[in-house]
Amino acid sequence: MHDDRSLAALLGEAPQTPDPGFRFDVFARVSARARRRAAFERGTLQVAAFTGAGLVLALIQFASAASGAWGPMLGAAGALALSGAVAFTVIKGPKAALAVFRPA
Amino acid sequence: MDAASEARLLGLARKGDMRAFGSLVDAHQPAVRAFLRRLTGSYADADDIAQDAFARTWEVLNRYDGRASLRSFICGVAFQYWRRGRRAEGRRLARDTAYADLEDAHHDAPQMTPERLALRRAMEDLPPDQRAALALCLGQDFTHQEAAEALKLPLGTVKSHINRGRARLQAALGLNAEQNDA
């Protein structure tokens, strides 16, 4: 005779508990997903930062028609310095994944 | 785990307490893994999806409104992962290959007797929703209501899925409902 419980047992048994290994695997995945998400956000920010810098350079170039030869050069240098600072901050990134959950 | 303890742990986990979340994982992993083992037929795949589901649950804990039980919520997340994995056939094949060695390491995986094989084939022929409803409700203390919440299906549909699915599983074993009830 096959009641629901025996059918279920034939399809797959419930695991023995507790299984600490499973919990650690879950934590590892939480950490990996947090790292992936942070990397994605950093990458997006980098693209936005460099796109912004490129846009600024183009605007400076456009403005240089009226303001002499030295203006665009200074503007470009300033924009490059700014984008470098932004890129450095972005690449350095936030604290290690899960570090925020460590007790103080 | 009683409701008060679960609510307390949930509150802590929402504030970022990984220990509390670990306790919730310990409390709910048997139900979620058993559900996925019955659903997928592979212990390695089941654990793979279950770990992803728990990891995702950690990210969306704030979206859990408490209307369904937490284990229903996690099983719902796991069900979405399983369904997405079925759609992404290539990725599933890659995962199967990657886990082929690990599967051997699952010492608790049962031997594939003819009975188990017949049931597994019958399960794989069922539509995904029906299969999931059976995997939740057969042999576990998931109520039909909990299954409906986890799978986001109407209660009547879940009941009908279970009755039809059970009949097909019994038919795969060469039984019919009358024999079983006798």
In-domain check, residue B20: yes
B80 shares a domain with B19: yes
Q: Is B18 on the interface with A (CB under 8 A)?
A: yes
Residue to mutate among A4, A6, A7, A31, with most B CBs inside 10 A, is: A7
What digits encode the pLDDT tens for the residues A34-80? Answer: 888 888 788 778 777 777 777 777 777 766 655 566 676 677 777 77
Instruction: Answer yes or no: do B80 and B10 share one domain.
Output: yes
> Rounded to whole angstroms, how far apart are CA atoms B91 and B85?
7
Q: What is the CATH number of the domain that holds B157?
A: 1.10.10.10
Determine, yes or no, domain membership for B96.
no
Q: Do B11 and B79 belong to one domain?
A: yes
pLDDT tens-digit map of B8-17: 998 899 888 8
Q: How confident is the model at residue B45 (pLDDT cuts 50, 70, 90)?
A: confident
State which residues form the domain around B41: 3-86
* Mean pLDDT of all residues belonging to chain A: 73
Find the closest chain B residue to A5 by CA distance. Answer: B139
Position B180 in a domain: no
Cα distance between the two ends of chain B: 36
Least CB-CB distance to A8: which of B38, B54, B56?
Answer: B38
In this predicted structure, the answer to whether residue B181 has a pLDDT above a threshold of 60 is no
Calculate the alpha carbon distances from A68 to A56, A74, A76, B5 in Å.
17, 11, 14, 72
Degrees, nearest 5: CA angle B75-A40-A91: 140
Same domain for B69 and B25: yes
Please indicate whether, in this complex, the C-beta atoms of A8 and B138 are within 8 angstroms of each other. yes
Q: Which residues of A touch B (CB under 8 A)?
A: 1-19, 22-23, 25-27, 29-30, 33, 98, 100-101
Q: With CB atoms and an 8 Å threshold, state whether A12 touches B115.
A: no
Please say which residue of B19, B53, B86 terminates a domain: B86
Reported as a single tens digit per residue, the pLDDT across A11-41 is 877 777 667 888 899 999 999 998 888 887 8
Q: Is residue B102 part of a domain?
A: no
Is 0.85 exceeded by the ipTM? no
Dist CA A57 CA A39 (whole Å): 27
Asked if residue B178 is part of any domain, the answer here is no
> Which CATH number characterizes residue B49's domain?
1.10.1740.10
CA dist list (Å): B8 to A27, A56, B56: 20, 52, 20
Let me know if residue B25 belongs to a domain: yes
Cβ contact, residue pair A1, B180, below 8 Å: yes
Domains held by chain B: number: 2
B94 domain-assigned: no
Q: pTM to 2 decimals? A: 0.71
Q: Which of B86, B119, B146 is the last residue of a domain?
A: B86
Q: B81 with B114, same domain?
A: no
Quote the CA–CA distance of A75 and A72 in Å, as a whole number: 5
Q: Are residues B80 and B8 in the same domain?
A: yes
User: Does A2 sit within 8 Å of B180, measured CB to CB?
Assistant: yes
Q: Are B34 and A13 an interchain contact pair (Cβ–Cβ within 8 Å)?
A: yes
Stretch B10-29: mean pLDDT: 90
Among A38-42, B24-28, B29-33, B154-158, the least confident range: A38-42
Residue the block writes with tokens 């998400």: A37
Residue B98 within a domain: no
Residues B59 and B115 occupy one common structural domain: no
